[in-house]
Structure 1
């Protein structure tokens, strides 16, 4: 029977055949000519064959037939007897050959009743024979193979695996003119992300259906179509039209040769991947946001990140249309899991791919960030002529900006300080509640418009540090690599430490060597001492332990802490350290690369302090707002404001809240965060499911001893007593000991530099602790996850700041 001659084939021919008829009606000229041969006409003994085959499949699905047995009652033996009994109707086969006259070759495939269903597709389970010569015996053999596959062991196993108890056998065999394409594949109209997915191979043989390796391309349904599609764009339009017409996703088998498109099959897509996966990594960001971070801080930084990075890419010259398409990426650079701040790591790699230049940018980023897992080697960019023409100006602009990086950073510092001074002069306590939020927004706008420069400097660090680590020195030259990171030209990061030591000596001279913070605060000389304290705070008061968490007090808030830190300094000071850069022979260009790396790190340290200044201002402003809420009897204490989000504060002040009871929100969150405090999360966490964050699992490797392998970041071997510090305590005496703690941010520096060595659970070679340790000649090991639990105070340990080894005497 010719499908074109049939008035309306009924469902007995199977969905595949019906689908071909419908495709041919809707898209004439795109479906190669075909003939549909219903099995009840094609097989003379069909009723007998059908009864025996259905019984065999049903018994197999029930488990009554052993598919592994070799005797004559096994599935294979009974299947062989049924296949041998197939009697094809010569007249029907002749009709098919007559319809195929003039065709050089055909494909022969089944259109089984069970095939292409809404729940089960049976894709790839039935026999398809390609490139069959239009000759009686080859066509007859191919038809017999298709009929036999209706009840094959492969089909029966597919059914049993899906809980199908029985199959109704029937349908037809489709003989179709062979279309020889240069590409062929399958298109799925929905992947759960609003995208079409094309899986294809560069051959006429559609290997993707057979489960073999295939190339893959995902295309947004709403964005402009990409160039260099593997098939004519009309294929994508047909998929969308078919999905709309059938009111469900579809998959289409296709082949193409140049601009010619052939539609070979259309069926309902049986599954849509509604589960999704997200990965979060805090290896780097935990240095700035350790432990529990309160909601106001998280909402504050999330807003900053979502605004700063688009400005950075605009500075690089990335088109606004591209930035608009990536807004979801910019809004989700961070994650907030159980009160902990993470990077949503895949979105950071997505941003890295937006940076003009080679695919090695991804490796450079990994070398700088040191995440727990990397996405593997980045595919080499294949731009083509059009892509190269588009990319060339961006690469040129990036090079020009790199050459101007130092002058841009100097310009940022001048402008930033002028604007910062204006906001520091504000008396936040005298502002009305709405004016506090409005002024904060103005501050964000004026200061964040500048922040593309510090982010660009981070890119400079990434590029030159990546070159230093991956080009100049191999893994076996780690000590030489660390040597090139030593010797910063601007020792601004050391200045607070030098000044603290000088302050300590003045305090001891004035109040005696046995003075304490409490005795100085109650001393008659406190007024004179206060001048020294205020002078220090005027220069370095923005520093504080965990200073990027708005809820944490600053040095200026607690004179006792600053006095304790100053009194804890060594009166003799640390031994002088050679501050010059190491001159180590490396590959061609290593000195240039090393100099640029150190310059970029210098600027990065200064920008870190500028960032702390902004956060300190924000803390002051939010505390002023908290006092307004207390006065309005909406909160119990001013610092309760840190338990609310920016949006909740905006709603309360400007009248957008559905429920105006901030006090209840704070109480509920305090209870929730109590459970967060007791929970330990890994450095890398993965979530998957219908709502990914609802099902989290740790994705981190540790040694049998409970500690992750450490990373040496400051050379030197040291044996000393360990002192394990769980939280910042300015009174703890770490002198001559190896400080072991979970993290060290810039605010911790005032404490840890009194130690002889340091071990942290977080960090990398570019962390603040690593930079300061190298400049002070202090052995340091970072990223030793689990060290706080595995080591104990008083234990004698040996650390190697080059290899990262930690040996503990039991």
Structure 2
């Protein structure tokens, strides 16, 4: 037996000294400032146990395989160890260790072999004693540490993880630092799994008060790379704990000015961050570091691997998705804009939805470029930006805007098309001309090659314009053939692998067909731009609403069908008092059952017909995590209740009729025929686009149903905890589950992403922000508006909010501010954004006020056809307007006025 310490051979430390001592030895070996320490190795305990006659009992304990007998035997051993004296050679080694430390008071800490390991920390399972004074007290605390190896909590911890029990514990003796402040530092964020952050918790006085929860700590999150402070939470620091003259602590009040001040100075935070970085590099894994600061500086008391990190890096997977996944050169700018993307992906969007959408967008637009006969070399260049057309920040989806300008540049007419793109996307801030002109989709080796390619692309594009009606007819026929075949399948039957195989077929077939159809978006941009220019030329005094009305898709547009069907259902409800009572007074999720139980066969058949025809619809219908009406019909009854409140009302006249009247008054002859020809072509393309978007919704519905089969399969196999966790995977991770990849750790990854979602929900998502270079850290994002939500003052009477007129008409009424189309019942629907699933709620609204979006978004188009006055792009509408405020919505001039309570028409 011998005292072990920094002077010992590393092999002996590994064999006898236990986990804490191994950590201290590594710190010392790395040149870290560590308080003096010494170790009583496992061989010392073995001799102690032999002297006490416990060797056989300990061996029998270690061999037990059932928990209850182990607990009983552990209690016997614990009492025997604590009561046996240190004597003879054991006491001599112990006394030498105390002398080696050479200080009073000291800390006495357990150091079991399995403790502080890479996989299992045993944190808190064994005893530690601070402020130990005198040899007699130290001897008692050593026995207590040994005895804690047989404690109930340590035994249960070992059995729960199928680990060997700690039958041969070691003990560390260490000089106690009279800390002014102390705490812990994590070299990765343990809550979110972020590897680029250091989290430092600090208290006044002894750190044991932090560990025990006796004192509330300051917590500071620091960017690991550059030391930028990302987040600070100040604790309620009313006291600190210091060693007393005996064996315990003394509680002291903290001065009033220190309670509200940070525990650590900026210099101390910087030094601790440096130490954390160095220790992680030296130890080769994220570390949990205990530290203390006295009058001489920073001491590191111990460092161990973080075993409960929320998201271990599994085969390159990370918990937090940020940016678009592209490598951005230093100093190169990116613009992120949520524009009308929030119509499709509102609020926080799951990793599976975002990565699926980004993957499909990339492949579809590459297919679009190929369909326009872009040369192979230039097509390869698009691979640098088509996969990153979308980005995600704190769970919110954004356009990677500069790349969308590049995409528009594939087709001819870029100067005009990009202006229409900005209107179509609802971009509030047009791109400066000098920047827009530099955004080329690809480059050529020579001018001749560029001109030859442009001539070929233009010829193909013009041919597409001429034949777009036939293209759409062929696409629809083929799409619905595939859709009908899919819809007839029994989706309860396939296994997970079968569902995955079907998903890959659907995904491949739809993307292959969709790429060429993206030319429709380009054609609509071109035709809308030409209509705009012709309007300015022939009708220079036309009102702003006129352009949007004159190129509408027509009253018979397919996307308005769900709203009309909902209006008819609402009429049937109001015609039957019993149905009215059921819909109005029953929870939406229970209405379906009430209808089945009652004598409402005819109405139930109409409801089931609606679900059969439009069951793929839902709020946030492009978000894979959102169930459609077939999975959860409760949303239908929520919208039906709202629509039934206005079942007797009629919507206003179509704005296209007013546009016709305006044309009759201001245009005739050849000019009118020319205008009508362009108008007709543009309107047909607008209708085609709406139909294509309906197909997209149905396609996502197919994918939703297959993913739900896979989610249930992964949960049944134990890969995930529950079915819904599948939405926390990326599409690449989901595919890997069925392609032989290692799925270990996915549950931890999912837990980390759920924690991130909770944090992200507290942040404001700016409509537009810029980044430069590869740094997308929290500090940079906070500077761009990613800050915690703060209360926004309500608008007062007389306030006029301005936006873009989208559907003409003037309406006064109460505001109903919603994040889903429910309980509008004749009010003015005010929303931050809408998505195509909201169209069924339009019959229940007298007017629409939408903060984000454009006049060319799906709901705005349908609102025009239904005659619902609409103003879009109304800044701060969803935060400054409150439910119950009386508003005047002017869809002609694009204003929303807050009226005083007494104001009436």
- Give the TM-score, by structure 1 length: 0.62
Distance 2:413 2:840 in 1: 40
Note the residue ranges of structure 1 that are not aligned, 5 or more in a row: 1-271
Map 1:81-96; keep pairs closer than 5 Å.
Answer: none
The change in CA–CA distance for 1:577 and 1:690 in structure 2 (over 3 A counts) is: closer
Map 1:82-481; keep pairs closer than 5 Å.
Answer: 274-357=330-413, 359-377=415-433, 379=437, 387-473=450-536, 477-481=543-547
Contact 1:545 1:728 in 2 (8 A): yes
Which residue, out of 847, 857, 875, partners 1:757?
A: 847
Distance 1:452 1:595 in 2: 25
Map 1:446-525; keep pairs closer than 5 Å.
Answer: 446-473=509-536, 477-486=543-552, 488=554, 490-509=556-575, 511-516=578-583, 517=586, 518=590, 521-522=593-594, 523-525=597-599
Deviation of 1:550 (Å): 0.6
Report the equivalent of 1:654: 739
Q: How many residues align?
A: 534
Contact 1:280 1:685 in 2 (8 A): yes
Contact 2:616 2:629 in 1 (8 A): yes
Question: After superposition, what is the alpha-carbon deviation per residue over 1:9-38, rounded to whole angstroms, capped at 9, x for unaligned?
Answer: xxxxxxxxxxxxxxxxxxxxxxxxxxxxxx
Question: After superposition, what is the alpha-carbon deviation per residue over 1:629-666, rounded to whole angstroms, capped at 9, x for unaligned?
Answer: 11112222212211111111222332223x51322222
Question: After superposition, what is the alpha-carbon deviation per residue over 1:737-791, rounded to whole angstroms, capped at 9, x for unaligned?
Answer: 2110111111111123311001011111111121111111111011113111111
Distance 2:693 2:481 in 1: 17
The change in CA–CA distance for 1:487 and 1:576 in structure 2 (over 3 A counts) is: farther
Match of 1:399, SS state, is: helix
Distance 1:489 1:717 in 2: 21
Match of 1:354, SS state, is: coil
The change in CA–CA distance for 1:590 and 1:435 in structure 2 (over 3 A counts) is: same
Match of 1:493, SS state, is: helix
Deviation of 1:692 (Å): 4.1
Deviation of 1:489 (Å): 5.6
Match of 1:651, SS state, is: helix
Give yes or no for the alignment of 1:577 onto 2:653. Answer: yes
Deviation of 1:393 (Å): 2.5
Match of 2:513, SS state, is: coil
Deviation of 1:708 (Å): 7.4
Match of 1:635, SS state, is: coil
The change in CA–CA distance for 1:578 and 1:770 in structure 2 (over 3 A counts) is: closer
Report the equivalent of 2:808: 715
Distance 2:405 2:591 in 1: 53
Deviation of 1:434 (Å): 2.5
Report the equivalent of 2:829: 739
Report the equivalent of 1:537: 611
- Give the TM-score, by structure 2 length: 0.56
Map 1:777-788; keep pairs closer than 5 Å.
Answer: 777-788=867-878
Distance 1:662 1:276 in 2: 34
Deviation of 1:804 (Å): 1.4
Map 1:7-26; keep pairs closer than 5 Å.
Answer: none
Contact 1:485 1:597 in 2 (8 A): yes
Deviation of 1:492 (Å): 1.6
Report the equivalent of 2:232: none
Report the equivalent of 1:561: 635
Deviation of 1:290 (Å): 0.7
- Using CA pairs under 8 Å that are at least 6 residues apart, name the structure with larger relative contact order, 1 or 2: 2
Distance 2:570 2:618 in 1: 18
Distance 1:364 1:576 in 2: 28
Distance 2:899 2:575 in 1: 40
Distance 2:800 2:630 in 1: 37
Match of 1:429, SS state, is: coil
Give yes or no for the alignment of 1:675 onto 2:759. Answer: yes
